[in-house]
Amino acid sequence: MNFLVIGVLVVLQDAAVGSIKVVESYWTLKANELVVDEDMSKYGSKVLVPLVCGEAFEGQNIIWKRENKEELPLHGNRVFVILEERQGGTYTCYNTEGNYLNHTLVLVHWRYKKIIKGTPQKGYIHCSTNNYSGFFQCFWTWDETRAGKVEFVQITRSHTVGNISCRLEPSESSITCQDHAYCPYAEEMDHINLTIYFRSNYIIETYNLQFQISDIVKPDMVHIKKKNNILELQYPESWSTPFSYFPLRFQVKEIRCRRKRNCDCSKRRSKVGLTQKQQWPLKYGVTVCVRAQDGLTNSPWGEWNWYKPQMTAQDTQGYCHRSGCNMKKWMGHAKEL
Ligand SMILES: *[C@@H]1O[C@H](CO)[C@@H](O)[C@H](O)[C@H]1NC(C)=O
Ligand SMILES: *[C@@H]1O[C@H](CO)[C@@H](O)[C@H](O)[C@H]1NC(C)=O
Ligand SMILES: *[C@@H]1O[C@H](CO)[C@@H](O)[C@H](O)[C@H]1NC(C)=O
Ligand SMILES: *[C@@H]1O[C@H](CO)[C@@H](O)[C@H](O)[C@H]1NC(C)=O
């Protein structure tokens, strides 16, 4: 009985070494970069990856090295390297004289999303623009525990032949893009398809987004100008023209913030008024918060701007003096909104 068990074990071990599977799913990310789709359930932690030095070197005696270290026990133009536990690497091939011929970086694509921060609900990459010029930016936040970098950015229009160029900002936390073929005056029929490939060690993670400019347009801050007792709500300079073709809608919130130097419009609860008019009557002692949204879509609201009346010494005195009797009236104003 004991002999039988030992015998079986030996056979199994041999079978395991000889049975490393050849990877079925792999693709070229860019020149000299091969990405293997990880599938532990299919292959286990080891998998064979086919590499070719080059078509021109068929039939030659070729030498292979990993990370330019010791020679691997592999010969010929077409070889299989063992990928173990996500340890990719740069495989370089040489002729027998030791001259460099070519190289391939082997990377592993897994399904996790760990290199940048986010959740499936909130998303990972956020794109935004302040007008309909075809310009936009996409942002993300690195996870501090992983040394991540952008390996590749792929961006296309879903149907039409677009021409979108992107560049990585020096902070490496955003890309700035321009759709050169974008026409602001025509209805946007197709989607922008953005895929960013992030890399950490030999791991590749892919992040895909599809959106239209009209989904991500977020106007800059509204300018507020006081004229007598009217507040004029002015379109941001960066907004697309003509304004009649690109109307904005405004949210207006009247709050009282006497003591705080800065009024945080987003945190103050108050009834919000909606208007497309560019005039707002100013009420005594009230701070007016305003933000804008594209008037024709449901894209994000811009940041709040506010108009806070300047209290002169006299105003303040008067205010203090009248606070007892006029407080209720002001609250009444806020409720009327
Ligand atoms: C080098 O290898 C790449 C694949 O990694 C291949 O596309 C390319 O044609 C090779 N270059 C030459 C000169 O054979
Ligand atoms: C978006 O781009 C990715 C990467 O190129 C591609 O796999 C996917 O099929 C594209 N999706 C659409 C809807 O075009
Ligand atoms: C894309 O647009 C830019 C700027 O207009 C231009 O320089 C470039 O040649 C265009 N590329 C293609 C492929 O059309
Ligand atoms: C659109 O916004 C970009 C970025 O702020 C700016 O450079 C460009 O001038 C704006 N376009 C128009 C028409 O204002």
Tell me how far apart the alpha carbons of residues 328 and 285 are, in angstroms, rounded to a whole number.
13
The per-residue pLDDT for 322 is 36
DSSP for 116-182, please give it. Answer: B--BTTTBS-EEEBSSSSSEEEEE--B-TTS--EEEEEEEEESSS---EEEEE-TTSSEEEEEETT-
pLDDT digits (tens, 9 = 90+) for 72-102: 999 999 999 999 999 999 999 999 999 999 9
For 41-53, what is the mean pLDDT?
A: 92
Which CATH number is associated with domain 10-109? 2.60.40.10
5 alpha carbon, distance to own chain's centre = 55
Mutate to test the pocket of ligand 2, among 157, 189, 195 (most ligand atoms within 8 A of CB): 195
For 227-240, what is the mean pLDDT?
A: 95
The per-residue pLDDT for 311 is 62
CB 306 within 8 A of CB 251: no
The per-residue pLDDT for 43 is 85
Tell whether the model's pLDDT for residue 63 goes beyond 80: yes
Asked, colleague to colleague, whether 10-109 and 223-313 share their fold, the answer is: yes
Mutate to test the pocket of ligand 4, among 136, 217, 238, 248 (most ligand atoms within 8 A of CB): 238
pLDDT digits (tens, 9 = 90+) for 252-298: 999 887 765 667 888 777 788 888 999 999 998 889 999 999 999 99
Nearest to 286 by CA among 263, 257, 318: 257
Nearest CA to ligand 1 atom 13: 54
Architecture of domain 126-216: Sandwich (2.60)
The more confidently predicted of residues 334 and 46 is 46
Locate 5 and state its tokens. Answer: 């068990």
Tell me how far apart the alpha carbons of residues 76 and 9 are, in angstroms, rounded to a whole number.
34
Tell whether the model's pLDDT for residue 323 goes beyond 70: no
Ligand 4 atom nearest to CA at 238: 14
Query: Is residue 77 left, alpha or beta, with left meaning phi > 0 and alpha meaning psi from -120 to 50?
Result: alpha
Q: Which CATH number among 3.40.140.10, 2.60.40.10, 3.40.710.10, 2.60.40.420 corresponds to the domain 223-313?
A: 2.60.40.10
Tell whether the model's pLDDT for residue 32 goes beyond 50: yes
For 213-234, what is the mean pLDDT?
A: 96
Q: Where are the domains of the chain?
A: 10-109, 126-216, 223-313
Q: Which helix (H) or strand (E) holds 325?
A: helix 313-336
pLDDT digits (tens, 9 = 90+) for 114-172: 999 999 999 999 999 999 999 999 999 999 999 999 999 999 998 777 799 999 999 99
Distance 144 CA to ligand 2 centre (A): 29
